[in-house]
Structure 1
């Protein structure tokens, strides 16, 4: 089965550095096949015959053994990633006029209710829930008015990992 591992909080602002080459080698050493990484924010695409829980346990143990800091990790099947990407309206893009992001949710906050708790001004943001993720679209001219940046200091931020829509679609198998 094809999987995507999404890491939270690595290689941001020069902190918690993880080389993608080392991550690829680690995944191969854990017995995963067809391992590839995608951009430095921490995305690994790989295959395994194991179920998702076993895969996550293997990855978590491998990360703990090889890094001196915690790396929160989400593991999604390619099918799950595709369902999320397919739920995003096709006209939602990242371009000069709009911005679209996907927040992949850890199980503890995977609920439509999470939207209600997010601190940004929803008058300026079209935000939607789909099992496993919340995604939003905003006109670039409204980014500051939306107070979208407040999400970083919110308690829920630690239970999500955010990717732009282009990365989300790539990881789902689009544009390959």
Structure 2
């Protein structure tokens, strides 16, 4: 089965720096096949017969042992990512006036758990729940007035990893399931 591992906080703001070539090599050495990275923010695509929970634990242990970084990972199969893209808000395809982000949520946390913590500003911030994700968008002309920035102050933020809409589409394109 093909998966993407979305690493939380790698190479963000000069912290938790990991070279993607080294991470990809380490993932391959675990026996995961066709490992490849996309962008330096911690997106690794690979194939394995292991289940996603086992893969998640294995990769979190790998990063801790090999790179001395404690990180949380969200692992999605090709079919799960296909569903997430299919469920994206319809207006995202045509609206260029929005910053569009997909919030991947680490189990056992649910979209409803996160929604209880998120504050939005009417007419500026928009949010919808999907299959293990939230779709967050903000008017580009009002980014500095968004309340989504308050999410980083919440404890639940540590259970999330966020990707740009275009990044999610590109990752799915790189996966073989389409």
Q: Same fold (TM over 0.5)?
A: yes
Q: What SS does the aligned partner of 2:101 have?
A: strand
1:136 is matched with which residue? 136
Query: Is residue 78–residue 175 contact of structure 2 (8 Å, CA) maintained in 1?
Result: no
Say whether the 8 Å CA contact 1:52–1:75 is kept in structure 2: yes
> Could you tell me the TM-score, scaled by structure 1's length?
0.90
2:149 aligns with 149
Q: CA RMSD in A?
A: 2.1
- 2:5 matched to 1:5? yes
Note closer, same or farther for the CA distance 1:112–1:152 as it changes in structure 2 (3 Å cut). Answer: same
Query: Which structure 2 residues correspond to residues 2-151 of structure 1 after superposition, within 5 A?
Result: 2-92=2-92, 97-151=97-151
Deviation of 1:96 (Å)? 5.5
Partners of 1:125 and 1:26 in 2: how far apart? 39
Question: 2:173 — aligned with what?
Answer: 173
Compared with structure 1, are the counterparts of its residues 141 and 93 closer, same or farther at alpha carbon in structure 2 (3 Å cutoff)? farther
Q: Following TM superposition, by how much is the alpha carbon of 1:134 offset from its aligned partner in structure 2, in angstroms?
A: 0.4
Comparing 4-13 with 88-97, greater Cα deviation is found at 88-97
Q: Give the secondary structure class of the aligned counterpart of 1:92.
A: helix
Pair 32,122 (structure 1): closer, same or farther in 2 beyond 3 Å: farther
Once the two structures are TM-superposed, the CA of residue 126 in structure 1 deviates from its matched residue by: 1.7
Matched pairs, number: 176
Name the SS for the 1:80 alignment partner.
helix
> What does the per-residue CA deviation read over 1:128-165, in whole Å, with 9 as the maximum and x for residues that have no partner?
00121001122211222222222222222111000000
Cα shift at 1:95:
7.3
